[in-house]
Amino acid sequence: MSQISPSCRILGCCVLSSHFRNSVLTVFSKKALSSHVFVHRDSPQNNPNISFEFTPENKARLDAIMANYPPTHKSAAIIPALDLAQRQNGWLSISCMNRVAEILGVPRMRIYEVATFYTMFNREPVGKYHVQLCTTTPCMLGGVGSDMILDAIQNHLGIKPGQTTPDNLFTLSEVECLGACVNAPMMQINDDYYEDLTVEDVTRILDELKAGKKPKAGPQ
């Protein structure tokens, strides 16, 4: 197989094997082309002047996490520290990231690199319930199919992927495989998986959440 020079490693492009050495397959996604995934722009609700501090309870938890690593390797705690900040704040603001960098003693850019790489970090506000629907092949083909589930969610909540309901209760996202292919179609809401979904299951789950109840997680 021919070697690929560094100059050929272009974001959004995949250079094929020597069998197709003269071909380039360009693969762009809307998310990859969306600047907000990688770029921060100050806004009234997200700027460095808005302070963030861990609660005493969460600071104690963070100290316990950091104690698992040598003092010279505090950066190993970046992911759990960001997760803790997001759970407290509801999303990962620039102030959250800056505070984590300060506590861990690492450059802010190290924090930004991690936060922009992992899609589970929400750098914009999301609703109380983050509905993440898998729409990759197994979920698209399994059961009633993710297309029908997506339509049901959109019709029931009145929002499209990337949007939040006016009451800030639900945010809808399309996501890649969540590793529960055997029970497709499925969705994740906050920390819980809901699997083997039907249209009726989806509307029931959303209604129960709206009513302040906790739906049964796992296979439906």
Determine if residue 13 is labeled as part of a ligand binding site. no
138, 97 contact by CB (below 8 A): no
Determine if residue 181 is labeled as part of a ligand binding site. yes
Residue with tokens 């929400």: 122
Residue with tokens 């609700």: 45
Residue 39 has which token pair? 């770029």
Angle at 174 between CA 39 and CA 81, to 5 degrees: 55
Sign of the Cα torsion 104, 109, 113, 116 reads positive
Determine if residue 177 is labeled as part of a ligand binding site. yes
What is the β-pairing status of strands 129-134 and 192-195? unpaired
189, 132 contact by CB (below 8 A): yes
13, 25 contact by CB (below 8 A): yes
List binding-site positions for [2Fe-2S] cluster: 134, 139, 177, 181
Query: Which residue positions form the known binding site?
Result: 134, 139, 177, 181
